[in-house]
Amino acid sequence: MPTITSLNPSNDEVLQEFQSHSEGDWSKIVERTADVQLDWRKTSMEHRTELLRNLAAQLRRNVESYGRLIATEMGKPIAQAIGEVDKCAGCCDYYAEEAPRQLAEDVVDSDASRSAVQYLPLGVVLAIMPWNYPFWQVIRAIVPAITAGNAIVLKHASNVPQSAMALEAAFSEAGFPVGLMSTILVPGLGAGRARRWPGSRARSEKGRARARRFRSIHRAPRCRRGSSGRGCKPGPHPQ
């Protein structure tokens, strides 16, 4: 089984090695995440936004340690890395404030006695993320998806596994259900097979062309492609 290695790009020091997940592991992770999402989709918006505020506080409380992790693992200057984490906390604040309005039922005129547009969760969203903003690209994609009642399986870039695991831990420490945001550790080309998981209902992608070449999704009874990996009503959010 190949390993996923976290390297300091300034000197090629091996920071940590992780055993990559097998296809059997992936399936179990997706199934677990799907089970957790069935309960999560029933939670109130008030509960979800409370946890978002907890996550913002968690990020700010650990901004320096997270910043050092980013700087060491992918080479970003420490000031920029700390700024990235602070920006992530701001994103959580934004959706804690705006999501109730963005996801509220829209009553529309029609011939019927009552018509409305509802924004319902899709299920499990597969997030394939790049290395250059190892916290921000993940947070900006998955926070609105989770707030909308979805769950996340994160396949991060292969050179930032510590960042991926730190983010998964941050969600759990903020009070989100264990397994709602799950990480898989696979090499970049494993993303092609990850897209074919029948348990994934949508995907959000950023990253290298080498991984993006694998575009096909094999439809299955539980599989549906979403036009947006965020799984949330379109609207303004921090850039």
Query: Measured in whole angstroms, how far is the alpha carbon of residue 9 from the centre of its chain?
Result: 25
* Token reading at 236: 């303004």
31 has a pLDDT exceeding 80: yes
* CATH code, domain with 151: 3.40.605.10
Task: Find the range with the poorest average confidence among 10-24, 42-56, 147-161.
Answer: 10-24
Query: Is residue 230 domain-resident?
Result: no
Residue 8, domain member (yes or no): no
Structural domain contains residue 17 = no
pLDDT value at position 182?
Answer: 95
What is the domain count for the chain? 1
Asked whether residue 135 is assigned to any structural domain, the reply reads: yes
Rounded (10°) CA dihedral 136, 165, 27, 210: 50
Residue 217 covered by a domain: no
Strands 13-19 and 106-108: unpaired
Task: Evaluate whether residue 11 is within a structural domain.
Answer: no
On whether residue 138 sits in a domain, the answer given is yes
pLDDT at 36: 96
Q: Identify the weakest region by mean pLDDT among 84-98, 158-172, 194-208.
A: 194-208
Asked if residue 221 is part of any domain, the answer here is: no
Residue 70: domain span = 23-102+121-212
Q: Which residues of 80-107 are buried (b: 16+ CB within 10 A; e: fewer)?
A: ebbebbebbbebbbbbbebbeebbeeee
Summarize pLDDT for 121-147 with one digit per residue, the tens: 999 999 999 999 999 999 999 999 999
pLDDT of residue 164: 96
